[in-house]
Structure 1
């Protein structure tokens, strides 16, 4: 099935960022997808449909160490009564770490951009730990961190702060003016930016309204490039910039 719209942008991002992905990812069968949709009790988010057709059997290099997103594992969890069908929450990944067994669920009552909110909780319920507004953002953020920023010679981490909420609405035009593009559309809680010599990811805790703080990880060829960019953000906007850590550490 050819990718369309937002899924085409996501597919292009992943295929150029993750070496070997095209040869290693493997999709679910139509029957498995239909079974999951019956468990959800409603149409699946369009992005999840795309995800299952591309990676529902194997995520290849994108696989998480202890999270199993495969359709087979999801269906097995329901068949074994580890989780029971719920009109709001749909299990999408099983956590194998017994020390912190928080599984990944869709909150289907919180749709966003042809997708839905990703949250974690225990199999039988309990406190919600919201992660990302969409599965698309969760996967793209992780791929960027591992396969773009993680491969760059110099990185730094810190926060952007503002007296006004929605930091990304102020950051987006700045990054565009500095030559960065956004490979996929994101909401106010997650941002991805890239240009030939640098890349950056931002995120903040999900809440009712965007907060005035975004954590960031920035990577590039050298510390000078990163310092120049952060200096330009600080001097050409009202955003406050705080760097907490350099990797590798600066002398």
Structure 2
């Protein structure tokens, strides 16, 4: 199978966000991937294999400021026994910020959508904080927020809530009617919505019921943003609480 066929939706999304990304990213070698697979003690999730093949040495313009996802860095951490192999957890990113020394690990006890849960832990695995349902969602949500939502001249942030149901299920229906698409598959704790005139992201803790979703919405026309929020309030049982407007 060709690399692009492993995660076609993710590739399409990232190339819309950064069209020249193929000239920047650099994949890991098969030997490096094999070594990481041995530390995992199991086949790697399909998404992670795609990630390593595409950007296992360099993420190019979508790199994180203090997180190093590169295979060489991860292998050096295991070689130096900075962290040790574990049948449940695999280190997938090293955090260099000493003020927040929590690294990124996969939690293989929670596989989902050809991926797995992402958690924050210290190197000794004494502290664990659930982060995202999947690495796919973590990367797509973060890069979409930075490169689609926050670059817009008009933005707002707030909270969608519904005491009786699933926020994402209701959002999907009304935003689909407004022409928004969901570029990658996500679960109930993360939403990525792309429209011609606006972009929206939501996310909530996977430790809580998915009935409260903080959101950020951005676009060029503040009137259209207000219309989107008005449609959500009118056509669903969601409560829309605005925290801040920018622009």
* TM > 0.5 fold call: yes
**Contact 1:160/1:242 (8 A) holds in 2:** yes
Aligned pairs (5 A) from 1:224-243: 224-243=223-242
**Contact 1:120/1:129 (8 A) holds in 2:** yes
CA distance in 2, matches of 1:86, 1:59: 26
Q: What is the number of equivalent residue pairs in this alignment? A: 246
Q: Deviations over 1:105-148 (max 9, x none)?
A: 00011001000000001000122111110000001001111111
* Secondary structure of 2:91 counterpart: strand
**Contact 2:3/2:50 (8 A) holds in 1:** no
Cα offset for 1:20? Answer: 2.6
* Secondary structure of 2:116 counterpart: strand
Alignment-derived partner of residue 60 in structure 1: 60
CA distance in 2, matches of 1:247, 1:75: 43
CA distance in 2, matches of 1:88, 1:231: 45
Provide structure 2 residue ranges, at least 5 long, that are not aligned to the other structure: none
Alignment-derived partner of residue 193 in structure 2: 193
* Secondary structure of 1:156 counterpart: strand
Cα offset for 1:235? Answer: 1.1
CA distance in 2, matches of 1:214, 1:89: 28
Cα offset for 1:170? Answer: 1.2
Alignment-derived partner of residue 46 in structure 1: 46
TM-score, with length taken from structure 2:
0.97
**Contact 1:219/1:226 (8 A) holds in 2:** yes
CA distance in 2, matches of 1:241, 1:167: 11
Cα offset for 1:4? Answer: 2.0
CA distance in 1, matches of 2:94, 2:241: 36
Cα offset for 1:50? Answer: 0.0
Alignment-derived partner of residue 4 in structure 2: 3
Cα offset for 1:81? Answer: 0.5
CA distance in 1, matches of 2:196, 2:180: 9
Alignment-derived partner of residue 158 in structure 1: 158
Runs of 4 or more off by more than 3 Å in structure 1?
Answer: none
Alignment-derived partner of residue 244 in structure 1: 243
Alignment-derived partner of residue 219 in structure 2: 220
CA distance in 2, matches of 1:234, 1:165: 15
Cα offset for 1:211? Answer: 2.8
CA distance in 2, matches of 1:19, 1:143: 13
Provide structure 1 residue ranges, at least 5 long, that are not aligned to the other structure: none
